[in-house]
Structure 1
């Protein structure tokens, strides 16, 4: 392939992560402006096996070596939570654009530090809240902004799924694990998006895996405009599987079923005095929309909503949930 034929955005993956095929590799095959050009893993054999399986041309046996590669434009970071900040810093320092999995960092202090570094650079640094780029969420925002539901009264968001493998890294405090970090970051982010602002945390109750790790959490929220909210999340509880959002206003309500992975099936149900209507927005994966947005930001200067500054707001709420529940904040690994 000549330089003129080279895709516009060459991305390297840090870690042979299970999420990478769905979140980046397959979407890149459907995006003519993007190629996944390299993968790094601490185990070189694992990187090579992953590369062969997914048709990736080059491997590295260290994360830093990939970051330093001069022909890569961007880095995708699907590492454990506690490593996100460390390797985002390294990528920015090396002049790379960054697509970092959520949660963006281990805590709000680290998010603020990364946001400052990103602002001082000319690089695109984007948190990978893929659901945010799906037309379902765009339509939900438009309905709220239109006033059709009236003045907001209540916003409730939930993400619960079963993870009974307690050796999983998501239960590891040293890797910034916990239900709020893994599942709850979605619930917190959705509450912020649909609630229209960053809320205060009024109270929080945790179900514990160990003294520092939450396996489930609920929290009550208060928004600046006067409406209230609730987030709930779980990796192991009686709430086996729930992915939903509900917005109640003085004139109507809106319910979103499966807003996190809408490409696997979703519904929007709006109820007002005019009646009930149900909408769907196609099965194209939200990861495809996310990659389109990342490429658009890097190659064409298009704006994105999941900026480092946005991540600071989300991590501030996550920290407040842990504090209200009497649990320690997560720390970088």
Structure 2
């Protein structure tokens, strides 16, 4: 597999038909692994007994949609989380989700969930433009919040949420789940190693070759749609690699607008610079695309998974599939002098989790955990007053959206706004 991966990164090393066939096989294997992991792993492992002090979790399913891999399956495997209640905008939808995912209660209005005094924390799964209003209401009702990334449609609203949570003494966490997985911290340790020299440049690519369906809210400007904001992991991974805040310079920004709405970026290609400690500029390329053209117009580029590359003075470092490392990932380090490449994988332990005894008793975690399960481990620790192994601080969430807003301004595109009036109590 390692030799294959190295060859795939250098297509000239393979005949064209072998290159295409091999890449397709790898893509199909990753997709198969995704299905097995998300839908079968939880069935094959018994639900642990819930502890007396387990937090009672409410789930707010905005527009009646819920991906079980983000919260249901992780909560099932955590001994300190109870799936207490699900809320949707109408009773039939809430009851359907309750039956399917075994929640104790169902609310056909969001007000019902907010008023439930037994709920300790709420997971928010909603379109980007609705997240601020939902999170604001949850915090004002005295409940902790875990929300999909990004927290809101623009930096100002993210900042308001961070300040509100601080004032209320509550936990607010952005659901950048990939940042909690052991692999990303193994990668970061390599990037941070001084023996590889200074960082010269980075490149992050997050694309969707199997186009996001046009009815998806990520294409709807009024719901906060657009590739740069929907695929924020590209900018986030760049900032993560550099320990950076916001871009110091935007060198160029090129948008490919949606055919149905020119305000929505179907794709965005950005050249920018970040300051990397100790204060030297690094040129970074970031590319996001919600409708990546097929190869030759015939074959979907299913082999293109989110990748971050870092070039230092002495090495080229790549992290393949950084957003879903629990399915498959590969970290490669190529020596620029000798051309020799070494590879690394990290499914448990590592520099972040290696000494941590997790909630299920294992030291270093469980290799079957998804990124969302690793994140839930940290979130529960924070809610219950323990120091989590890792945390996305509020200022990081603000810096991320300040970066996204800056890119949109440079592209001549309007900033997204939160739609408070769309939030209904049922």
**TM-score category (smaller protein):** over 0.9
Aligned to 1:233: 288
Q: Secondary structure at the match of 2:326?
A: helix
CA distance, structure 1, for counterparts of residue 270 and residue 111 of structure 2: 38
Q: Secondary structure at the match of 2:254?
A: strand
**Counterpart mapping for 1:179-328 below 5 A:** 179-183=227-231, 185-198=232-245, 199-200=247-248, 201-209=250-258, 210-224=261-275, 225-238=280-293, 240=301, 241-272=304-335, 275-282=340-347, 283=367, 284-303=369-388, 304-328=390-414
CA distance, structure 1, for counterparts of residue 202 and residue 66 of structure 2: 29
Contact 2:226/2:265 (8 A) holds in 1: yes
**Counterpart mapping for 1:32-71 below 5 A:** 32-71=79-118
CA distance, structure 2, for counterparts of residue 325 and residue 66 of structure 1: 40
Bigger shift: residues 253-262 or 144-153: 144-153
* Distance 1:141-1:214 versus aligned 2 partners, 3 A rule: same
Rg larger for: 2
CA distance, structure 2, for counterparts of residue 40 and residue 254 of structure 1: 44
Runs of 4+ in 1 over 6 A off after TM superposition: none
Partner deviation per Cα, 1:299-322 (whole Å, 9 max, x = no partner)? 133144313221100000000111
* Distance 1:145-1:164 versus aligned 2 partners, 3 A rule: closer
Aligned to 2:417: 331
Contact 2:186/2:346 (8 A) holds in 1: no
Q: How many pairs does the alignment contain?
A: 329
Gaps of 5+ in 1: none
Does residue 14 of the first structure (1) align with residue 14 of the second (2)?
no
Q: CA RMSD in A?
A: 1.7
Shift of 1:94: 0.9
Partner deviation per Cα, 1:141-196 (whole Å, 9 max, x = no partner)? 2112221331000111111013252121111111111111112x010110100022
Contact 1:149/1:248 (8 A) holds in 2: no
Contact 1:7/1:35 (8 A) holds in 2: no
* Distance 1:134-1:5 versus aligned 2 partners, 3 A rule: closer
**Counterpart mapping for 1:42-121 below 5 A:** 42-121=89-168
Bigger shift: residues 86-95 or 156-165: 156-165
CA distance, structure 1, for counterparts of residue 291 and residue 202 of structure 2: 23
Q: Secondary structure at the match of 1:295?
A: helix
* Higher relative strand content: 1
TM-score normalised by the chain length of structure 1: 0.94
Gaps of 5+ in 2: 1-49, 295-300, 348-366, 420-426
Bigger shift: residues 122-131 or 217-226: 217-226
CA distance, structure 1, for counterparts of residue 289 and residue 416 of structure 2: 17
Partner deviation per Cα, 1:238-279 (whole Å, 9 max, x = no partner)? 274441010110111210110001111111001235732111
